[in-house]
Amino acid sequence: MKVLLIDDHPLIRSALQSVIQGLGDGVTVVGVGSAQEARDTLRADSDYELLLLDLQLGDANGFDLLVELRAAYPSLPVVVVSASDRTSDVIRAIDLGAMGYVPKRSSNETLFEALRLVMQGGIYVPPMTLGAETPPARLEGDTAPGFLAVVREQADAPAAPSLASFGLTPRQTDVLGLLLQGKPNKLIARELDLSVETVKDHVAAVLRALNVSSRTQAVLAVSQLTREQGDGQPPPWRPSTQR
């Protein structure tokens, strides 16, 4: 597995490289210190399977670079590794297409868990985001504070519900999987050979089933369920062969 690590602090970059290489003998980590180096590296060789991104870069805003990379390399999963553990930053990163968010103060085991989950097709967010007492900043089209209360209620329940318990159809599960990859309705429609209006209907049904009102909330909800129900198996939202 080839991993690209973007962090402008040499010591942290070196430490993270060593940790990530500990995932296995077949892991190769390339570290770069700037957004421009990352662009040049990906233009020269885009055959990376995972990208780790620090939000604090000297030559670019990390969120802006996240948007740029997701647009240019939509199949390349991005995990943010940041010194910030603010709920608003986590939600914003996920909203912009990150497949994971790991605070730098996390343990090596937490980083391993996050990267393995993302490589299986899941989404990782830190637990403190889901139980935050301070409401995050409101994002356009999102009602995160209300959703976090729902997550806390689920966490307090005797047994967390499984994704299967929401009764999604196979096609809705396909749509959810692509939605979690940050793909817009037009790309989902193209990949599943559906009309955009049909995709909108499926997205609306998925949000209703998960009891959320935005894509970001859906990502957080599924991430919570994945962690609580995790058994080492790949997530159940891989696109099916149905067309």
Instruction: Give pLDDT tens digits for 154-202.
Output: 344 444 455 666 788 889 988 988 887 777 788 899 999 999 999 999 9
Q: Where are the alpha helices (DSSP H) in 45-86?
A: 62-72
The pLDDT of residue 82: 94
pLDDT band per the 50, 70, 90 thresholds, residue 35: very high
Domain 2-130 belongs to what architecture? Answer: 3-Layer(aba) Sandwich (3.40)
Parse the chain into domains and list their residue ranges. 2-130, 144-229
Tell me if 62 sits within 8 A of 82, measured CB to CB.
yes
Q: What is the CATH number of domain 144-229?
A: 1.10.10.10
Confidence of residue 224 (pLDDT cuts 50, 70, 90): low
At residue 131, does pLDDT exceed 80?
Answer: no
Give DSSP secondary structure letters for 88-131.
HHHHHHHHTT-SEEEETTS-HHHHHHHHHHHHTT--B--HHHHT
Classify residue 3 by burial, with Cβ atoms within 10 Å: 0-12, 13-18, 19+.
Answer: buried
Write the CB contacts of 137 (distance below 8 Å, at least 6 apart in sequence).
88, 92
CB contact at 8 A, 116 and 81? no
pLDDT tens digits along 71-98: 999 889 999 999 998 888 988 898 888 9
HSE of 27 in the Cβ direction (CA atoms, 13 Å)?
A: 20
Q: How far from the centroid of its chain's Cα atoms is residue 65's Cα? A: 15
Mean pLDDT, the chain, whole residue set: 79
